[in-house]
Amino acid sequence: MKSFKSFFTDFLRGSIILKLSYFVMGLYQIVHKQFVRGIIFLVLQIGFWVFMGFVGFGLIGDLITLGEYPFRLAPDLVTSIPGDNSFLMLLYGVLGLAVIFVFLFAYFHIVSLSRQFDKKKENENFVKANFKDDLKSLVNENFHFTMMIVPLIFLTVFLIVPLVFMILVAFTDFSQVMHPEDSEYIANQFFSWAGFRSFGELFALNPRIRQTFFGVLLWTLAWAVLATITNYILGILVAMLINSKGVKGRKLIRILLVISIAIPQFITLMVLRTFLDDHGVFNNILREVGIISENIRFISVEANPWVARATVIIANLWIGIPFTMLIATGILMNIPKELYEAARIDGAGPFRIFFKITMPFVLFITTPYLITQFIGNLNNFNVIFLLTGGNPGNLNYYHAGSTDLLITWLFRLTRDRSDFSIASVIGIMVFTLSAVFSLVFYRRSATYKREGEFA
């Protein structure tokens, strides 16, 4: 804010050259004999305005209108005229915005260079930097700029721009049914801004979508809580059991347990899915042992929703327990031995030691881990998508199944239905959920920390 204010006060106070260089970038540098610098700045500005003139303003205009004509018939009523491509207009509009933001950033930086220069000039010891020094500074004072620039460009173009695009889609009526495999069809889309219409549909207007949203949301929360807690408690118990006295071959046990998370999930979970199939091995084994007489439908389309949900939570232990075990092992080894000694001298029994020392210590260290696990489970796409694909189907739901999480439902809507605007509203909801939870937990764990260090 302060620098923003001085941007204007410096303009009023500064020399006429400085004033002019607010409008002509590089002028200040050229006048003060920093030719290379000045010319680069000037070229940057000219380039920007040329870009804006030829493309930029058009892009922004398209972004505002998203095109005017849908797919329509020509006057002869036979040939068809393809409609405006709102998809590309929106996408390129966002890219154009990114270019404008980058330019504005450069502009403010260059003006502030001139402003600093203007102030320092009055100082006698001030040494003017030439272009060679500029280049040298790229490996010294400005080394951070050199190192950050390429990753930042990548981040902007391939992550931020697509993300902003998708967030903006939530405010359009982009939801035509089409074939997902057909890329031509994606490229021929006409849609327009619709404000908060999709938000309204999700929360209130469309009863079926609303019911699905709240149903899926509830299951997502239940799943996240249950999956996190079961994995956490059982994982830590197993880690402690492995660490306890008298266990032979600790390393081997750890490696054997960890194999289930060492292999990529698309393999392990697809194997588990086939394993638990209606006519799969697991059913066969159970039948031969004599536990069941008829095959259980665990995760198929016709399975009982509650059986499927329970199966998913239990099956998730297969990868969850080793994961927590891995983390907890490191922590358990770091518990100061003196704590145990002291407790033992004070006459504490094993249970007392567990509840008074081990658990608080583990809980203290793993609180952040618990938070990230919870957020991770809210968005646990792989387990649900690969294991059940959201099945069993639910007829009351809008293209969602009984084990679908918000995130897998979102994916279904984009893949099967091309309900892009509703899908991106759900995406925004998923984000809001994650952000709120991590903020709340983070606050609490911060106060937790302030209460004093453990041990």
Partner 1 sequence: MIKKRKTSFSKVSLFTFKNIFLYVMCAIWLVPIIWLLLQSFREFPTGNVAEFWPQNWTFQNYILLFTEQSAVMNFGRWFLNTLVIAIITCVMTTLFVLSIAYVLSRYKFKLRKPYMNIALILGMFPGFLTMIALFVMLSNVGLLNGFWHYLALPIVYSSGAGIGFFMAKGFFDTIPNNLDEAARIDGASNARVFFTIILPLSKPIIIFTILTSFLGPWADFMFAGYVIREVDFFTVAVGLYNIIITPASIDQFFTRFAAGSVIVGLPTALLFIFLQRFYVGGVTGGAVKG
The neighbouring-strand residues paired with 401 are 393
Q: Give me the least distance between CB of 326 and partner 1, in Å please.
A: 6
Q: Give me the least distance between CB of 36 and partner 1, in Å please.
A: 21
Quote the CA–CA distance of 45 and 216 in Å, as a whole number: 51
Count of other CB atoms within 10 angstroms of residue 161: 17
| For partner 1, the closer CB: 69 or 108 | 108
Q: Any alpha helices (H) in 179-264, and if so which ranges?
A: 183-186, 197-200, 207-243, 250-262
| For partner 1, the closer CB: 33 or 415 | 415
| For partner 1, the closer CB: 29 or 260 | 260
Quote the CA–CA distance of 236 and 241 in Å, as a whole number: 8
Q: Give me the least distance between CB of 207 and partner 1, in Å please.
A: 26
Q: Give me the least distance between CB of 161 and partner 1, in Å please.
A: 7
Q: How many residues does the chain have?
A: 455
Please report the beta strands in 113-164, taking only residues with DSSP state E, as ranges in sequence order. none
What is the SS3 assignment for 178?
coil
> Residue 98 is which amino acid?
A
Q: Which of 109, 229, 213 is nearest to 423 (CA)?
A: 213
| For partner 1, the closer CB: 59 or 375 | 375
Q: Give me the least distance between CB of 147 and partner 1, in Å please.
A: 4
Q: Give me the least distance between CB of 262 and partner 1, in Å please.
A: 4
Q: Give me the least distance between CB of 384 and partner 1, in Å please.
A: 13
| For partner 1, the closer CB: 25 or 91 | 91
| For partner 1, the closer CB: 15 or 284 | 284
| For partner 1, the closer CB: 134 or 277 | 277
Burial 310-343 (b: 16+ CB within 10 A, else e): ebbbebbbebbbbbbbebbbebbeebeeebeeeb
| For partner 1, the closer CB: 196 or 442 | 442
* Helix (H) or strand (E) run with residue 95 in it: helix 86-120
Q: Give me the least distance between CB of 77 and partner 1, in Å please.
A: 32
Q: Give me the least distance between CB of 191 and partner 1, in Å please.
A: 13
Q: Give me the least distance between CB of 321 and partner 1, in Å please.
A: 8
Quote the CA–CA distance of 410 and 215 in Å, as a whole number: 14
Cα-based angle 267, 383, 208 (whole degrees, multiple of 5): 135
C-alpha separations of 23 from 17, 139, 226, 312 in Å: 10, 30, 60, 62
| For partner 1, the closer CB: 38 or 389 | 389
Cβ neighbourhood burial of 10 (10 Å; 0-12, 13-18, 19+): buried
Q: Give me the least distance between CB of 156 and partner 1, in Å please.
A: 8
Cβ neighbourhood burial of 293 (10 Å; 0-12, 13-18, 19+): exposed
| For partner 1, the closer CB: 357 or 425 | 425
| For partner 1, the closer CB: 30 or 433 | 433
Contacts of 203 (CB under 8 A, 6+ apart): 210, 213
Cis bond before residue 392 (omega within 30° of 0) = yes
